[in-house]
Amino acid sequence: MVFVDSSALYAIANREEEPHSRAAEAWRRLLADQAVLLTTNYVLLETSALVQRRLGMEALRDFETSVVPLLHVEWVDEERHRFGAQAVLSANRKKLSLVDCVSFQVMRETGIRTAFCFDEHFREQGFDVIP
């Protein structure tokens, strides 16, 4: 099982910038290996907002129809949200987000050790990262 972060999802959607080629290659490999790809509704919200704002509605439509159906979604409840909010405040780091902290918690709860991402915070938390 692999956790999929918004940094990787956005890189897949954004064909104009690096790291799209590395993201697309890793994505194809994960799909070929039939990896279970898990994310959260918070990651989907964050990615959808980025894609819509930066890449437009056609890119958002493509993301929603081609990528989202391949993901297993863990829904963030009140307890997970509260835990993530407390983790952000405790860390006291401007660039560490609520979405990141909730993602780390979901990975720990589900026993996932590997994240498909371009966010160094996952490595800092002791997770393996792809690519």
Q: What is the DSSP annotation of 33-44? A: TT--EEEEHHHH
CA dist 127 and 113 (Å) reads 5
Find the CATH number of the domain harbouring 43.
3.40.50.1010
Outline where 14-117 has alpha helix (H): 20-32, 41-55, 57-62, 78-91, 98-110
Judge whether 48 lies within some domain.
Answer: yes
The structure tokens listed for 87 are: 């983790």
Judge whether 29 lies within some domain.
Answer: yes
- Check residue 131 and give its pLDDT: 95
Tell me which residue range forms the domain holding 19: 6-130
Mean pLDDT of the chain, nearest integer: 97
- Check residue 79 and give its pLDDT: 97
- Number of folded domains in the chain? 1
Can you list the residues of the chain whose pLDDT is less than 50? none
Judge whether 98 lies within some domain.
Answer: yes
Q: Encode pLDDT of 45-77 as tens digits.
A: 999 999 999 999 999 999 999 999 999 999 999
Cis preceding linkage at 19, omega within 30: yes
- Check residue 30 and give its pLDDT: 98
Burial class (CB in 10 A: 0-12, 13-18, 19+), 69: exposed
Judge whether 1 lies within some domain.
Answer: no
Distance of CA 105 to the CA centre of its chain: 13
- Check residue 31 and give its pLDDT: 98
pTM for the model: 0.96
Judge whether 53 lies within some domain.
Answer: yes
- Check residue 23 and give its pLDDT: 97
Side by side, which strands form the sheet with 72-74?
72-74, 37-40, 2-4, 114-116, 128-130
- Check residue 46 and give its pLDDT: 98
